[in-house]
């Protein structure tokens, strides 16, 4: 009968017909967490994000993890497709306000890595170079780490390792010198630090240490080191 509501399996259906009905509610879609969200087909598309705003956001996210050099931030921006012009503009501004300071970064890096990892100047110089720090800026920061401090750190590293070292004195000697070399210590500093530490450890180690000509061995190791770097 006309005007009678249609019976559905779940009860009387009084909803208006969807087909051709302009008054129907906007189509719904299921959003995050299963909630129903309405989409407006007439809503204008979202405006594209400003490149400068995106560049600043990328930089701040990088700096939230740890301090960064200008070169590191420039690399992160390039990977995200930020143009060189916008990148330079943003980084110049960060330079002006002190958010980026490669000199301060280098000083903090040298202090932290030397105290925490026992790294010597050569290893630290390599790390700063990898992070894009200018050579002159790096040299100034490394100049704050003097030879006496470096030698004391080398000796402390050796003494700590000796507490758990096992083996004959000559084998221990080689392992400890190699350990210091990996941390960037010059042959002379490494050999003298290990010799002095062995001499204070035990009578057997002291006897072995007495036989070591630190100067001659350091010269030989230095020549090998220079040859290796030249070949590389």
Give pLDDT tens digits for 155-214.
Answer: 999 999 988 888 888 888 999 999 999 999 998 899 899 988 888 877 777 777 777 766
What is the percentage of the chain residues whose pLDDT exceeds 90? 55
Residue with more model confidence, 175 or 41: 175
- Last residue in a domain, options 61, 83, 100: 100
Q: Nearest-CA neighbor of 211 among 224, 223, 197, 199?
A: 199
CATH number (domain holding residue 65): 1.10.10
Tell me which of 72, 100, 128 is where a domain ends. 100
- pTM for the complete prediction? 0.70
In sequence order, what are the beta bridge partners of 38? 28
Lowest mean pLDDT among 33-42, 57-66, 90-99, 113-122: 33-42
**Does residue 17 lie in a domain region?**
no
Q: For residue range 80-118, list pLDDT tens digits in order.
A: 999 999 999 999 999 999 999 999 999 999 999 999 999
pLDDT reported for residue 201: 77
User: Above 60 in pLDDT, residue 1?
Assistant: no
Residue range(s) defining the domain that contains residue 62: 51-100
Asked if residue 132 is part of any domain, the answer here is no
**Residue 230: inside a domain:** yes
Least-confidence region, from 4-18, 129-143, 211-225:
4-18
DSSP 182-214: HTT--HHHHHHHHHHHHHTT-HHHHHHHHT--H
Question: Do 162 and 225 belong together in one domain?
Answer: yes
40 within a domain of the structure (yes/no): no
Residue 219 vs residue 11, higher pLDDT: 219
Does the pLDDT value for residue 49 go beyond 60? Answer: yes
Decide if 87 is inside a domain: yes
Helical spans, DSSP H, in the chain: 51-65, 70-79, 84-97, 102-117, 121-130, 135-142, 147-162, 169-182, 187-199, 203-210, 214-231
pLDDT value at position 40?
57
Share of residues in the chain with pLDDT > 70 (%): 70
Q: 224 and 167 in one domain?
A: yes
């Amino acid at each position: 009968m006309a005007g009678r509501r249609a019976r559905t399996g779940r009860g009387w259906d009084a909803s208006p017909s969807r087909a051709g009905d302009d008054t129907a509610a906007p189509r719904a879609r299921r959003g995050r967490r299963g909630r129903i969200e309405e989409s407006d087909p007439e809503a204008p598309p979202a405006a594209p994000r400003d490149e400068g705003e995106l560049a600043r956001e990328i930089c701040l996210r990088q700096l939230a993890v740890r301090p960064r050099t200008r070169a590191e931030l420039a690399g992160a921006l390039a990977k995200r497709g930020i143009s060189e012009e916008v990148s330079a503009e943003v980084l110049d501004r960060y330079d002006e306000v002190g958010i980026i300071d490669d000199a301060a970064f280098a000083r903090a890096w040298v202090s932290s890595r030397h105290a925490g990892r026992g790294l010597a100047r050569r290893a630290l110089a390599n790390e700063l170079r990898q992070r894009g720090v200018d050579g002159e800026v790096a040299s100034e920061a490394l100049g704050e780490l003097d030879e006496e401090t470096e030698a004391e750190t080398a000796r402390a590293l050796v003494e700590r390792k000796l507490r758990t070292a096992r083996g004959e004195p000559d084998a221990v000697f080689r392992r400890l010198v190699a350990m210091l070399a990996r941390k960037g210590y010059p042959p002379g500093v490494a050999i003298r630090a290990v010799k002095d530490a062995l001499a204070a450890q035990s009578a057997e180690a002291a006897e072995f240490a007495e036989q070591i000509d630190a100067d001659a061995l350091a010269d030989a190791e230095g020549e090998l080191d220079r040859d290796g770097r030249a070949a590389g």
